Structure formats: structure tokens, C-alpha cells
Amino acid sequence: MDSSPKKRTLSRKSSRSGEHSGDLQSGDTGLFLNSVLENIPDMIFVKDARHLRFVRFNKAGEELLGIPATEMIGKNDYDFFPKQEADFFTRKDRAVLKDGRMVDIPEEPIHTKHKGVRYLHTKKIPILDERGNPQFLLGISEDITEKKKAAETLRKSHEELESRVEQRTGELQHINQALRDSEERYRTVLAALMEGVVLINAKGRILAANPSAERILGLSKDQIMSRSYKDPLWGTVHEDGSTSVEEFFTARSLRTGESYVNAVTGLRRSDGRLIWLMGNTQPLFRPNEAAPYAVVASFFDITDRKEMEAQIQKLNAELEQKVQHRTAELIAANKELESFSYSVSHDLRAPLRAIEGFAGILMEDHFKKLDEEGRRLLSVIRQNARHMSQLIDDLLNFARIGRQNLTRQTIDVLELVHSVIEELSHYDSQEKPEIVIQSALPAAPGDTVLLRQVFLNLLSNAFKFTRHQEKPRIEIGFQKQGPETVYYIRDNGVGFDMQYADKLFGVFQRLHSVKEFEGTGVGLAIVQRIIHRHGGRIWAESKLDGGASFYFTLPPTANV
């Protein structure tokens, strides 16, 4: 389009010739052209071909350069512009004029008076005379500074955008990779977990389930994920027997936004088996939202434990029942025993009293009618009746000690021993034995009444069996054996043969004849029973005619 019109000329003469004037009159043409020239927004200038001095300069040029046309006319580029710029303009001008063809300079800088450096898009056109010699140079310059700036800004912002996009893309790729890595890690962890883990959204849809969840629930991942958490197929059962699915811990957590720990719920598996889960929930929240958007539930199968608990409970209940049954039996037996001993004490004694009493009356009223032998026989009857009465008393006493409750307190053994000895001294008319009491006798835990009975029986035995000694001696003391305190009562009486030691504590067991030493053989049985009821032990050591020693312990914590 810029192919140079070689034959074009610009002269007043030719322009006035009206060759291209069209409708315009030749006189008007100059005026018209001038008007165009002055009002066109581009800078237009004309230089003479020989000296390249401005011959014409339009208004737009004046405005751009900030120099009036009157100043420009007759001067050249070196008068206004830096040498480098002027050289460039001149070189282009010469080239145009030399070649006789238009040159398009897309961009050239120019120093202006007020606007600084501006950029121009300039076309330079040679104007030739009739002979084809260059006469003028026509320049048309468009100020492209703003356009250039806009383009530059556009380019810059484009570049910036491009680089930001690139950077963002990089970041996203990085994040994506990190997410993928982290997801992979969690997936691995989830897959390895023994606990079942499911993710449930706010609508109750199950979004994810790990392999353990599949195993525990007995369902494939797809089956799990096809069910809502409210699906009746779960067959939810709570420990109290209720079946509300709304109370399932996942449902509860979604509803309340709270997390739960160790919640227990039963589920009916599709194979019909009831399994028990213990689970935790963690609701998930988005920032600034009050309701959770999802909940993570983890759980494990505690069915075995539940079943064991139930088994234990059942066994306990059975045991309890057995104990109750046995207790009832024992109570009944005890009652029976009590009424038995009540009967014994009343009904057996009445006939004895009659035998003894009427034998007594016979002796009293008919004394003179009886000979010596008759009286002896009567007295044997009376003696035996009395002895049997004593046996009944002792037996009942023995039975009572087995039933009686223990009232445990700390007992001052030393004081107890002194008081028992004093009591015995009142009754016994024998030669007073020498009594040695270890003064540091430690206190013992026990029932006062019963322990008094122990010392009474043991000491009265000691009195009894030393009766025939020349210098009777009784010693009461204790020994420390490890953590235990062993009390002992030692005498220098007749003693007994150790081969019968096991019979010593039996009921009605006697190692001496009644003739030798009176008694029913219940005293030591009672002593043993009391010591055993206190959780202690009792044993004896002796030699025939070498005295006897009785030892017993009273543990601080005894099972009664």
C-alpha cells in the first residue's frame, strides 16, 4: 500500500492545475489542502531537497515540538534536535530523496521542547519535479508515544500475568503433589489401622471406609458406601436395649457437633450376627460454620469382650444364686440346730432332773430301808445323771461358740490372764501353784468373751493337771515367731503322751480317767474352736509326767 507514487508532485503550479481537483475549483484546491494540512492531527513538514531546510510546518507539528512554524521555516534538523537524532533524520531524508521512494519509519524518537522524548511513526515521501528530480521532502509523523506506552503497559501486564499464572501453576502443582503425598500417607495409615474408620457427611452419606471397617462390618466398601448411617439395615442396638438409630454415636455426633469417646453400640450384621462396636467420633467443621459438615468415626469390634462380660455376669449371677441358696440352706440348718439345741437343753434335762431328783427323794425318805449297797447304787445313778447334765451343758456351750458372732476388739491379754487366775483361785482349794506371767504379754485382737473362755479353759486345765505335783508351777508367756505372736501356757503337771496329741482337741476326747481328773472332754475342743474362729492356730507339746505346753496364735487380720 505504500508503494511509492513516483510521479507524484507537489507544486503550487501543478496543484493549481486541477488535475485531481474533481468537484473543487482550482482556486479552492489550495485553500482546501491548506486547511487539511493545518487541521490534520499528524505532524506534517516539508523540507527543500537541497538543504533539507523546513519550508512548511503544520500546526500539529508546532504543538508536538513546541516550536512555532515561523521559527522552523528556513532552519534544519540540527537547529532543533540533538546531533544523533538530527543525523538519523538527515540520513533517512537523503535516502528517500536519493532513491526517490517513500520510506516508512515505524518508530523514531524525537526530543521536543515541552513533552520530552516522543516516539513517531513517520513516512517520508520525495516530491519530484517534472524531470524527476527531487524538489521537496514531505514528512508525515504520527505521535505514537501513547500508543507505544499503552502497548508496553499491555505487554508488561501480560508478561506479569503470564509469570503469575506460571508461578501459581507451579504452586498448585506443588500443593497437588503434597496433597497427593499426604492423601497417600493417610490412605496407607487407614488401610493399616486395626480400627474401622468411616467418613460420613452431614447428610449421612458414608463417603469413605477403610479395609478394617469392611472386615468388622462384614460388608464391601461399596455396600458400606451405598448405605446411609440411618439405614435400618444396620440394626442398631444400644446397651440399654433401645434401637434408636438417632442415638447411634455417629448420628449423635453429627446432630450435636460433639465428639464421643468409647461409645458402645451393637449392630446386626447381614449374616445375622450381633456385633458390638466401641467407637470414637470426631466431627469436622468448616471455618465459621456451627454445624459439622462431616464426621469421622473410628471403631473396633468388642463383641468378644461383650460376650465374655455377659458370660462373667451370668456366672456371677449363678454364683450369687448358689451363694444365696447355700446361705438359705445354712440359715435353715442353723435354725434347725438352734431349735435342736433348745430342745436338747430343755427336754433332755427334765428327765435327768427327774432321775436325779427322785433318786434324791428315795435317798431322803427311804434312807433307813436301804442297805449300804442300795445306797451306793442310788448314788451311782445320781452321779451319772449329774455327769450327763454336765455333758449336755458343755456340748451346748461348744455348739453355741460355733454360731456366735465375733465382736473383735483389742484385748489386754495381761489383764485378762490376771483376772482369770483370780477367778480360778476362788474355786480351787488345791495347793496354790506358782504362777509366772511374762509381764510384756502383748495385746491381741479378738472377742473378749471368747478369749476369756480360752484362758479359762487352758488355765483351769493347768490347775487341774498340776494338782498332784509337789511344787505346781504354771507359766504364761509369748514368743515372737517371725511376724506372729505365739502365746503359751506351760505347766509341770501330768502331761500326756504325744502319740495321742491329735485326739487332744476332739469333742469328748479325754486322755485321763474321770476318776483321776474330772471333766467331759469338751474344754479343749471349745478352745480350738475359738482360736480357729479367730483365724489362729493351736497346738500342744508334752511328755507323760513331764508337763504340758499349749501354744496359740491370734492373727491381726483374721477371716471370721
Partner 1 sequence: MTVPPVVDLLLIEDNPNDLELTLRALKRQGLADKVFSVKDGAEALDYIFQTGAFAGRPLSAPPKVVFIDLKLPKVTGIEVLRKMKSDDRTRSWPAVILTSSRQERDLLETYQLGANSYVVKPVDYDQYAAAIGDLGRYWLLLNQRPLR
Quickly count: other Cβ atoms within 10 Å of residue 334's Cβ.
12
For position 450 contacting partner 1 by CB under 8 A, the verdict is: no
Chain position carrying cell 446397651: 239
For position 382 contacting partner 1 by CB under 8 A, the verdict is: yes
For position 359 contacting partner 1 by CB under 8 A, the verdict is: yes
* Window contacting partner 1 (CB under 8 A); options: 345-353, 434-442, 535-543, 550-558: 345-353
Give the residue with the Cβ less far from partner 1, 150 or 354: 354
Judged by DSSP in three states, 166 sits in: helix
For position 426 contacting partner 1 by CB under 8 A, the verdict is: no
Q: In what order do the strands lie in the sheet with 548-553?
A: 434-437, 473-481, 484-491, 548-553, 538-542
Distances (CA, A) of 235 to 196, 212, 260, 274, 298: 18, 20, 20, 9, 18
* Window contacting partner 1 (CB under 8 A); options: 174-182, 222-230, 250-258, 378-386: 378-386
Q: Which three cell numbers stand for residue 123?
A: 513516512
Give the residue with the Cβ less far from partner 1, 23 or 347: 347
Measured in whole angstroms, the distance separating CA 463 from the mean position of its chain's CA atoms is 72
Site for partner 1 (CB under 8 A): which residue of 90, 389, 425, 438? 389
For position 360 contacting partner 1 by CB under 8 A, the verdict is: yes
* Window contacting partner 1 (CB under 8 A); options: 242-250, 274-282, 298-306, 354-362: 354-362
Give the residue with the Cβ less far from partner 1, 275 or 401: 401
**CB 335, min distance to partner 1, A:** 12
Q: Give helix 349-365 / helix 372-403 axis angle, nearest 10°.
A: 160
**CB 478, min distance to partner 1, A:** 32
Give the residue with the Cβ less far from partner 1, 285 or 342: 342
**CB 451, min distance to partner 1, A:** 18
**DSSP E strands, 438-525:** 444-446, 473-481, 484-491
* Window contacting partner 1 (CB under 8 A); options: 186-194, 328-336, 357-365, 489-497: 357-365
Give the residue with the Cβ less far from partner 1, 332 or 354: 354
# chain residues binding partner 1, by CB under 8 A: 21
Instruction: Return the closest-CA partner of residue 504 out of 524, 488, 487.
Output: 524
Site for partner 1 (CB under 8 A): which residue of 225, 264, 352, 443? 352
CA distance 411 to 479: 17
Site for partner 1 (CB under 8 A): which residue of 191, 207, 312, 350? 350
8 Å CB contact between 135 and 128: yes
133, amino acid identity: N
For position 480 contacting partner 1 by CB under 8 A, the verdict is: no
Site for partner 1 (CB under 8 A): which residue of 328, 361, 377, 449? 361
Three-class SS of 340-401 = HHHHHHHHHHHHHHHHHHHHHHHHHHCHHHCCHHHHHHHHHHHHHHHHHHHHHHHHHHHHHH
**DSSP letter, residue 176:** H
**CB 361, min distance to partner 1, A:** 7
Quickly count: other Cβ atoms within 10 Å of residue 53's Cβ.
16
For position 353 contacting partner 1 by CB under 8 A, the verdict is: yes
For position 191 contacting partner 1 by CB under 8 A, the verdict is: no
Site string for partner 1, 393-422 (x = CB under 8 A): ---x--------------------------
Give the residue with the Cβ less far from partner 1, 24 or 352: 352
Distances (CA, A) of 371 to 356, 359, 377: 19, 15, 10
Site for partner 1 (CB under 8 A): which residue of 223, 345, 419, 438? 345
| Stated length of the chain | 560
For position 385 contacting partner 1 by CB under 8 A, the verdict is: yes
Give the residue with the Cβ less far from partner 1, 37 or 396: 396
Distances (CA, A) of 368 to 159, 273, 365: 157, 99, 8
Phi/psi at 184 (5° precision): -60, -45
**CB 404, min distance to partner 1, A:** 9
DSSP β-bridge partners for residue 18: none
Site string for partner 1, 303-342 (x = CB under 8 A): ---------------------------------------x
Which residues contribute to the site for partner 1 (CB under 8 A)? 342, 345-347, 349-354, 356-361, 382, 385-386, 389, 396
